Amino acid sequence: MASTAARTYLTPKEYLAFERKATTKHDYLNGQIVAMLGASFAHNFITVNIATSLNVQLMEGECRVATSDMRVKVTEIDSYFYPDVVVVCGEPRAEDDTFDTLLNPVLIVEVLSPSTEGYDRGEKFDHYQQIVSLKDYILISQDEVRVEHYCRQEFKWRQSEFQGLEDVLSLLSIGCELRLSDIYRRVEVASG
């Protein structure tokens, strides 16, 4: 999803009240809201492909998959984001009784858009790293076959990159694999 630069200050409580009534989604970062714009066909198809592949693999286990309507909170900085795909294992922890804000994601996927790529790689990833439960962060290009996987190993993040449709990304934290041929199935992009 792309974001606009127009921002307004709200407290976390005001943001949640606003967001729960809004007809469009907004991230919340350090007291400011950021409106989320619509996504391209490629972005949407890639998101569904990833969610479908993970959901099929996780169907019988303790982990569950959600897409971009599941808000995630970074508690340490009172910020909220809408990842394209999120996986939670075990009992999902919610911020409150509304159960629309996840506190304990294990895996987050962002499909890169031209307007959000820098934000997803930089500031947003910096914030996501503060989520103790997060083990995997995946960035997916929608313009070319390119997947970046950041895996938490103790106190460091290890990065791997994949650029071939024959490549397979192993996600040890949830016991799954993502085949790039499945991620990009029926999506027109440049091959690596």
130 pLDDT band (50/70/90 cuts)?
A: very high
| Higher-confidence position of 185 and 13 | 185
- Residue-wise pLDDT tens digits, 36-58: 766 789 999 999 999 999 999 99
Of all helices (H) and strands (E), which one includes residue 157? strand 156-162
The DSSP bridge pattern shows strands 71-74 and 79-81 to be: antiparallel
- pTM for this predicted structure: 0.86
> According to the model, what pLDDT value does residue 8 have?
59
Would you say 167 and 139 are in contact if contact means Cβ atoms under 8 Å apart?
Answer: no
Q: In the prediction, which pLDDT does 2 show? A: 46
- Rounded to whole angstroms, what are the CA distances from 152 to 24, 57, 120, 155, 177? 32, 22, 17, 7, 17
Measured distance CA(120)–CA(36) in Å, rounded: 13
pLDDT tens, residue by residue, 142-180: 999 999 999 999 889 999 999 999 999 999 999 999 999
Give the pairing type, strands 79-81 and 107-112: unpaired
Kindly state the average pLDDT of the residues 126-154: 96
Does residue 32 register a pLDDT over 60? yes
Tell me the C-alpha distance between 69 and 41, whole Å: 17
pLDDT at res. 48: 97
Gap between the Cα atoms of 49 and 55, Å rounded: 10
> In which element (H, E) is residue 181 found?
helix 180-183
Q: What is the pLDDT of residue 75?
A: 86
Higher pLDDT among residues 68 and 72, named by residue: 72
pLDDT band at 29 (very low <50, low <70, confident <90, very high): confident
